[in-house]
Amino acid sequence: MRLRTVLNELPLTGYQVQDPSLLGWDVVVSPADYEGRGMEGVVVLATPEQVERLGSPREGEGLVLEYLRGAASELPLRPPTGVVAASGDVAPSEFRDAFLRLVSRSGVLAVSRERLFKAFLSSYDIQQFADHASGVLRNPVLISNTDHKVLASAGDLPQGVRELRDVITSGYVTDEVASLMEADGLIRQARATRVPVVSEKGTTGVRNVSSIIYYHHLELGRLDVFEVRPLTGLDLELVDYAGALAGIMIDRLGVAGERVGMGSTVLADLLDGKLSSVDAMRALVTLLGGADGARYDLVSVVGEEGADRDYYLKAGQVMQACLEDVIWTVRDGSVVLLLTLEKDERPGFDAYDQFENLVLKNRGFCDFLERNGMDAYVCEPFEDFSLAGASLRQCTGLRQALEGRSAQGPRVHFFWHERFAVMGWSAKRDGKLAALLDKRVVAMAAYDRRRHTSYLQTAVMSVRYPGEPVVAAEALSVHRNTYFYRVNKIRELFYLDLKDGDDRLAVAFTARLLEMSEADGLTLEGRNSA
């Protein structure tokens, strides 16, 4: 039993210790009379007269609890080493009875601690440990990490706590619930003191104990226990011990979260298709600093063959420092980055240029890749989070399509530049039409449909009759000045340069696919969501 627990369980009005670190010591409560010395790790009870007559314990001789009936103001500010000076209103005999009752209660606590430790040893994951811990504590348990992801929950919550039930269902502690749990300042107190604290106000009226989970002095998450059976001071110590064991398990499983350099568990869940709730999606958007209509891109960064997880964790931390507003996780022998851009209200699709600028103009990121022989594979931009898993597979396809290419080339590979290199592989893999479409051409076709213009047809004629503007204009049945005007507007509105060979190829290929899809009865919206 920790000295802090001993003091909290006794009828005291105040206490003083010379060194506050003593409060965290594990001690055995002894019923023996004080004889001027004791044993290390043992605390005994004494009167002020006994301490004055026999002297205080020396270093290594245990602790003595000196009880004074009276005001706390009468206690010495710095009692001698080995002496805990305490005051209370009850008679010394009553206080001694309360002290002796702790002898048996300390045995109960030791048994409970042993049960928690055995549960830890036999648990293969956080959920299994939470189930055992809830049984020992006889109260519901919630374990979350630094990303506010619910790692595990166990026990039956009391009625009328809808917010907490919603948290457990969604898998993430929403900002609203997090604010409620921190409103009384006790979470800040738990961080400052590094001991569990009781919230009398509680979340939505439920009294709870919150403990910050640490491992190697790093905050890895929180363990919250909600009161169904009355919580005691002994329970606080058990919660603290359970949090320490949970910290070891969280570190071992690598699920602490991005804030401690372990990668984002939010992004990991997104890639696994586990972000099924609206609240979880909104939490990810908030984390990225994005808004409705924002566009996203995944970057898969691959290093030396056979590199372990620690290698990629360190690489992820460096890349996060280089790139702003990025979240990352380690996955399948790579670091996966999620980049975001605000929506552009112009009709064209400028995300290719924007993401290229975001990556290629970041000298720190590019130099890091070059120095460490790492390659970055960038997928097509997307707006719908549900496409994240497919986008990561697209990065993998790009990597496979470029396998064997000389390492002397650029270290950043964009899908839209290598579209035709991966076309066959991608189509064979999943038959997704969207992966084969240049989004700038799609945007142009959509613009034509809405505005009744003919920019796509003009672009196709320009490709079909290269270097022959008069013939192209005649095929369109327009004056050649109109033809030149449209060609210039295509570059301005849709970021397509019809003098550039790659852009001309993109127009020809995507336009043909659009024709094929229309023949099959697919709508433009259907192609975008494919």
pLDDT in tens, 236-248: 889 999 999 999 9
> pLDDT value at position 421?
65
- Per-residue tokens: 132: 């055992």
Q: With 50 as the cut, is the pLDDT of residue 522 above it? A: no
Residue 225's closest CA among 253, 203, 193? 203
Reported as a single tens digit per residue, the pLDDT across 276-311 is: 555 665 666 665 555 667 888 999 999 988 888 889
Residue 527's closest CA among 435, 454, 449, 450? 435
Least confident of 96-110, 189-203, 361-375: 189-203
Residue 151's closest CA among 138, 141, 159, 160? 141
Q: Per DSSP, what are the bridge partners of residue 123?
A: none
> pLDDT value at position 23?
85
For range 206-230, the mean pLDDT: 86
Reported as a single tens digit per residue, the pLDDT across 363-411 is: 999 999 998 999 999 999 998 888 889 999 999 989 988 886 655 667 9
3-state secondary structure of 150: strand
3-state secondary structure of 405: coil
Distance CA 6, CA 385 (A): 52
For range 487-494, the mean pLDDT: 95
Q: Higher pLDDT residue, 448 or 73?
A: 448
Q: Measuring CA to CA, how many Å separate 367 from each of 261, 298, 300, 310, 511?
A: 21, 19, 16, 21, 38
Q: What is the DSSP letter of 73?
A: G
Reported as a single tens digit per residue, the pLDDT across 2-38 is: 888 898 889 999 998 888 888 888 888 888 888 888 7
Asked whether 398 and 379 are in contact (CB, 8 A), the reply is: yes
Reported as a single tens digit per residue, the pLDDT across 307-356 is: 888 899 999 989 988 887 788 999 889 999 999 887 777 788 889 999 99
Confidence at 275, pLDDT banded by 50, 70, 90:
low
For range 98-126, the mean pLDDT: 89
The residues, any chain, with a CB within 8 Å of residue 361's CB and separated by 6 or more, are none
Confidence at 448, pLDDT banded by 50, 70, 90:
very high
> pLDDT value at position 527?
41
Confidence at 182, pLDDT banded by 50, 70, 90:
low
Confidence at 428, pLDDT banded by 50, 70, 90:
very low
Which range is most confident: 110-114, 178-182, 450-454? 450-454
Reported as a single tens digit per residue, the pLDDT across 144-171 is: 988 888 899 999 877 666 767 777 777 7
- Rg of the chain over Cα atoms, rounded to whole angstroms, equals 33
Q: Measuring CA to CA, how many Å separate 516 from each of 455, 461, 523?
A: 19, 18, 11
Distance CA 248, CA 111 (A): 21
For range 48-66, the mean pLDDT: 87
Q: With 90 as the cut, is the pLDDT of residue 172 above it? A: no
Indicate the average pLDDT of the chain: 84
Q: ∠385-391-396 over CA atoms, to 5°?
A: 150
Q: With 60 as the cut, is the pLDDT of residue 524 above it? A: no
Confidence at 140, pLDDT banded by 50, 70, 90:
very high
Residue with tokens 């011990």, as numbered in its chain: 241
Confidence at 526, pLDDT banded by 50, 70, 90:
very low
